[in-house]
């Protein structure tokens, strides 16, 4: 059985612990333009740590190989303690196809290429270093950690240079499920004016409309112009019924 297939099967068992259905997302040297027509964060040590109980020094040591940004650390802590996000959490910490922690930071994506300016996040793989990178659009720097956690749960599923419509569907569905569970714990985040929360609420609405299946998320992915060149399947996401 392919390593990628094992990855998918483990993910399926984890994701089913939340009231969600399955859909996919892989990446590297490829983009995640999430907007249902538009659906996106960067490092800021003073603005991002917004919970008084957040121990910056302790988490800086724990996540030093992943990020230097407090907002990302807070999001990782939320993922760590949520069953349906633990698969993504472990992938970010190094349990992925590269067997190395994923580097995460906020960034002005236009600095990479102007065509990425409006993207929510960009996944990249450095083939020489065999390491994965996630660059979150800096406009999400001050988004609630719950929203960043949902986005990272999606992005953690992209672990190679290949992607597909199936993979994006899986990842969007994972993101919606994580957002719903975190919003149950902190309902106030649903009213945040953050652009990233606008995205997450849109995914939540699609997921609920489909009675917690990927029915409407899949339609949104397959009709997204940003994915028009993607194949239907990619390694680990070959199942036509995802």
pLDDT in tens, 95-135: 999 999 999 999 999 999 999 999 999 999 999 999 999 99
**What is the predicted pLDDT for the residue at 199?**
97
**What is the predicted pLDDT for the residue at 105?**
97
Residues whose CB is less than 8 angstroms from the CB of residue 184 and which lie 6 or more positions away in sequence, other chains included: none
What stretches in the chain show pLDDT beneath 70?
A: 1-55, 240-242
The b/e string for 106-116 (b: 16+ C-beta within 10 A; e otherwise) is bbebeeeeeeb
pLDDT in tens, 17-27: 343 222 233 33
Radius of gyration, alpha carbons of the chain: 16
**What is the predicted pLDDT for the residue at 102?**
98
Please check whether residue 171 is in contact with residue 159, taking contact to mean a CB–CB distance below 8 angstroms: no
Q: How many CB atoms lie within 10 A of CB 152?
A: 30
Provide the residue count of the chain. Answer: 242
* Unique residue bearing structure tokens 């606008």: 198
- d(CA 56, CA 98) in angstroms, rounded, equals 28
**What is the predicted pLDDT for the residue at 233?**
94
Residue 59 phi/psi, 5-degree rounding, is -75, -25
Please check whether residue 71 is in contact with residue 94, taking contact to mean a CB–CB distance below 8 angstroms: no
Residues whose CB is less than 8 angstroms from the CB of residue 142 and which lie 6 or more positions away in sequence, other chains included: 41, 44, 47, 48, 71, 194
**Which among 192, 181, 172 has a CA at the least distance from the CA of 237?**
172
**What is the predicted pLDDT for the residue at 56?**
72
Q: Write the burial class of residue 90 (CB in 10 Å: 0-12 exposed, 13-18 middle, 19+ buried).
A: middle
**Which among 205, 174, 188, 208 has a CA at the least distance from the CA of 8?**
174
**Which among 36, 116, 44 has a CA at the least distance from the CA of 74?**
44
């Amino acid at each position: 059985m392919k390593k990628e297939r094992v990855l998918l099967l483990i993910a399926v068992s984890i994701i089913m612990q939340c009231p969600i259905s399955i859909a996919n997302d892989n990446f590297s040297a490829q983009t995640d333009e999430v907007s249902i027509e538009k659906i996106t964060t960067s490092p800021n040590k003073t603005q991002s740590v917004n919970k008084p109980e957040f121990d910056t020094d302790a988490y800086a040591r724990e996540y030093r190989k992943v990020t230097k940004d407090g907002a990302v650390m807070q999001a990782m802590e939320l993922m760590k303690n949520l069953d349906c996000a633990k698969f993504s959490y472990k992938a970010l910490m190094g349990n992925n196809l590269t067997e190395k922690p994923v580097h995460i930071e906020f960034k002005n994506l236009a600095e990479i290429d102007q065509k990425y300016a409006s993207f929510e996040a960009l996944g990249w793989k450095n083939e020489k270093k065999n390491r994965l990178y996630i660059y979150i659009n800096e406009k999400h720097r001050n988004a609630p950690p719950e929203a960043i956690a949902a986005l990272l749960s999606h992005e953690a599923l992209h672990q190679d240079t290949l992607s597909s419509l199936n993979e994006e569907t899986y990842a969007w569905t994972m993101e919606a499920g994580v957002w719903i569970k975190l919003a149950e714990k902190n309902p106030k985040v649903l009213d945040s004016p953050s652009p990233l929360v606008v995205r997450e609420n849109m995914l939540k609405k699609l997921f609920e409309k489909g009675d917690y299946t990927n029915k409407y998320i899949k339609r949104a992915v397959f009709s997204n112009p940003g994915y028009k060149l993607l194949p239907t399947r990619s390694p680990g996401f070959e199942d036509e019924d995802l």
